[in-house]
Amino acid sequence: MDFVRPHIYAPIHRSEEEGISKEGDQVQVQDICDPVGEPLVNVFLLTMQAYIGIHQPNNLKEADLARKRLIFDEFFYLQLARLFQMLEGLGTQIERDGLLDKYRKPELNAVFIEEWSSLTKKFLKALPYSLTSSQLSAVSEIIWDLKRPVPMNRLLQGDVGCGKTVVAFLACMEVIGSGYQAAFMVPTELLAVQHYEHLLNLLDNMEEVLCKPSLSLLTGSTPSKQSRLIRKGLQTGEISLVIGTHSLISENVEFSALRIAVVDEQHRFGVIQRGRFNSKLYYNSISSLLAGTNSDGSSKSDVFMAPHVLAMSATPIPRTLALALYGDMSLTQITDLPPGRIPVETYIIEGNEIGFEKVYQMMLDELEAGGKIYLVYPVIEQSEQLPQLRAAAAELETISSRFEDYSCGLLHGRMKSDEKDEALRRFRSGEIHILLSTQVIEIGVDVPDASMMVVMNAERFGIAQLHQLRGRVGRGVRKSRCILFASTASGLTRLKVLEKSSDGFHLANMDLLLRGPGDLLGKKQSGHIPEFPVARLEIDGNILQEAHLAALKILGTSHNLEKFPDLKAELSMRQPLCLLGD
Ligand SMILES: Nc1ncnc2c1ncn2[C@@H]1O[C@H](COP(=O)(O)OP(=O)(O)OP(=O)(O)O)[C@@H](O)[C@H]1O
């Protein structure tokens, strides 16, 4: 039996296309990988040799080379499958070329402010602050995509509190300014309400425009009569922007001319779910076209297009992982924070009596100075199985009597939606000074003057997760502190990294190295990470990048892999492994 797999250079050899050079029987690896500097992987090494090399190497160098070659294959076919599938979804050759071009030269893809729609410019002018330079380039990149007849599929990432939301709002304004609709989907009702109120405020500040965007909120708790009206408004095009939870993708929601779907905290949604979201919206756009309800008279081909998708992630995902998970997405990173932010001072303290007394005193000082405090607990109720865990509901009374001059509130996932909103509203307005909560506040909660956080049993949380939690403070001009209580000595040591660094990307990389991708992303998401028999994402990221470029190069030469039949056969054999399912 022949174990030799098709080699990527063999089919390339047949190509007469520009950019793929031939030298005897071999293709230059530089041509495939477009590398800056030394190529990492010797693709001339036959897969057969690699198998022998990894089992019976003559020396370490040979084993290493073989390992890299096999890893390259694993990554390459994954990337090829993702991109191939994405190209298959596009209609024309021009669209496909355009898309590949975009991946190849991301630095060229930006639009100057002058070319933004007048609605977007007015919205920008009405903001109570100036955008940071990286927010500005993120918006420019996104608007460049929005102006093209190819659906955008972009991941916007940045550290906690860097201001992703406003970037997404500006993207929505751009499509609304051109007569289309926008949908903004978030994973929790709490976040939906917060975004809705935030945007209402920003729109209020805006000087009169011909037609202000009409905004709605649609969640599972929206009363059915109101929900019916909103759905009607979306169907007729009366509502131009809807913010909501999963309800937005339920079957009975139809849009008149949906042009962008923003998916906030996208890693909370699975890969398949993301796809379903996209195809559902696509279907809706098509169905409205067939029904002839294209309100603004835009061209047929223009509407006959899946909506642009802007996904946002607040957990900075190392680039490697982002490529493995979302190889089919372009990546925009916000790399700076709004000016005036003071880094949060972090202390790791042993959770014993002395430690608690010390922290209670710090809390009192903070409250007397006018601060607001989050107390974060790993569980809601005390558990018999895990008695060492402190519980939010169980401690409400103790904390209330300890700080009797101040008011305390409770926030956790088991409360009803309106109770949660109310608790957060009271904390925001200053009626509550200490909010005892679980990790429901981890994502997106924005109370800029909250100035202190105390996390109980911090060893129960991942590093990246704690960084997210910590990001709930230090969002305003006030100096903030974060105290992490560790109940075990090993926990104390592991958490020390948070004392030293406040860089989310660095911490996410640390988490990836220390605990692997599963723990970094959480159970739900880690189920979507492809399994690699040889490769380890945490250390082989640069090979993944190279494999990504190689896949782009190949598809740039032949979109449907017609010129590479062996590759195509190999891909279809591997496909079940390459493409992920829930
Ligand atoms: N350029 C800016 N200058 C000053 N403040 C800003 C700027 N951009 C955003 N903000 C403010 O910073 C805070 C954080 O913004 P936002 O909630 O969008 O962050 P985020 O990136 O979504 O972070 P997280 O994922 O932690 O929620 C908000 O109060 C927002 O109004």
Tens digit of pLDDT at every position of the chain (582 positions): 333 333 333 223 223 333 333 333 333 333 344 333 344 555 556 777 888 888 888 988 888 888 988 888 888 888 888 778 777 766 666 666 766 766 666 555 666 777 889 899 999 999 999 999 999 989 998 998 898 777 788 888 888 888 999 999 999 999 999 889 999 999 888 889 999 999 999 998 887 766 789 999 999 889 999 999 999 999 999 999 999 988 888 878 888 888 999 988 765 555 555 555 555 454 444 444 444 444 443 444 444 577 888 988 776 666 666 666 665 677 788 888 888 888 899 999 998 889 999 999 999 999 999 999 999 999 998 887 787 889 999 999 999 999 999 999 999 988 988 888 889 999 999 999 999 999 888 777 889 889 999 999 999 888 888 998 999 998 877 889 999 999 877 778 888 889 988 888 788 777 777 666 655 555 444 445 566 778 877 677 778 878 888 888 888 888 888 888 888 888 877 765 444 332
Q: Whose CA is nearest to atom 14 of ligand 1?
A: 161
Atom of ligand 1 lying closest to residue 198 CA: 31
Nearest partner of 439 among 417, 422, 421, 456, judged by Cα: 456
**Span from the CA of 201 to the centroid of ligand 1 (angstroms):** 14
**Span from the CA of 140 to the centroid of ligand 1 (angstroms):** 18
Which value does ipTM take for this structure?
0.98
> Is there an atom of ligand 1 within 6 Å of 472 CB?
no
> Is there an atom of ligand 1 within 6 Å of 163 CB?
yes
> Is there an atom of ligand 1 within 6 Å of 160 CB?
yes
**Span from the CA of 444 to the centroid of ligand 1 (angstroms):** 9
| Residues contacting residue 28 through CB under 8 Å, at least 6 positions apart | 21
| Residues contacting residue 506 through CB under 8 Å, at least 6 positions apart | none
pTM, two decimals, is: 0.73
Q: Which two tokens stand for residue 313?
A: 């992630």
At 342 the pLDDT is 85
> Is there an atom of ligand 1 within 6 Å of 314 CB?
yes
CA distance 406 to 368: 10
Q: Whose CA is nearest to atom 30 of ligand 1?
A: 163
**Which of 132, 446, 470, 502 for a ligand 1 pocket mutation test, highest count of atoms within 8 Å of Cβ?**
446
> Is there an atom of ligand 1 within 6 Å of 90 CB?
no
Atom of ligand 1 lying closest to residue 135 CA: 1
Atom of ligand 1 lying closest to residue 471 CA: 26
Q: Whose CA is nearest to atom 12 of ligand 1?
A: 163
CA distance 423 to 412: 10
Q: Whose CA is nearest to atom 4 of ligand 1?
A: 338
Atom of ligand 1 lying closest to residue 334 CA: 21
> Is there an atom of ligand 1 within 6 Å of 244 CB?
no
Q: Is 164 helix (H, G, I), strand (E, B) or coil?
A: helix
Contact 206, 122 (CB under 8 A): yes
CA distance 259 to 391: 44
> Is there an atom of ligand 1 within 6 Å of 274 CB?
no
At 511 the pLDDT is 73
At 575 the pLDDT is 61
**Span from the CA of 162 to the centroid of ligand 1 (angstroms):** 5
> Is there an atom of ligand 1 within 6 Å of 131 CB?
yes
CA distance 258 to 285: 6
> Is there an atom of ligand 1 within 6 Å of 135 CB?
yes
Q: Go through the domains of the chain in sequence order and give each one's CATH number.
A: 7-86+531-574 (no CATH), 116-285+301-334 (3.40.50.300), 345-501 (3.40.50.300)
DSSP single-letter state for residue 108 = G
> Is there an atom of ligand 1 within 6 Å of 129 CB?
yes
**Span from the CA of 496 to the centroid of ligand 1 (angstroms):** 27
> Is there an atom of ligand 1 within 6 Å of 164 CB?
yes
At 28 the pLDDT is 36
> Is there an atom of ligand 1 within 6 Å of 448 CB?
yes
**Span from the CA of 338 to the centroid of ligand 1 (angstroms):** 7
Atom of ligand 1 lying closest to residue 340 CA: 4
> Is there an atom of ligand 1 within 6 Å of 504 CB?
no
**Which of 162, 453, 505 for a ligand 1 pocket mutation test, highest count of atoms within 8 Å of Cβ?**
162
Atom of ligand 1 lying closest to residue 265 CA: 25
Atom of ligand 1 lying closest to residue 445 CA: 27
Contact 373, 433 (CB under 8 A): yes
CA distance 135 to 163: 7
Atom of ligand 1 lying closest to residue 162 CA: 21
CA distance 303 to 288: 9
Nearest partner of 178 among 143, 126, 205, 150, judged by Cα: 143
Residue 203 main-chain phi, psi, to 5 deg: -70, -35
The type of residue at 89 is G
Nearest partner of 508 among 547, 548, 541, 549, judged by Cα: 541
Q: Which two tokens stand for residue 50?
A: 């690699």
**Span from the CA of 264 to the centroid of ligand 1 (angstroms):** 14
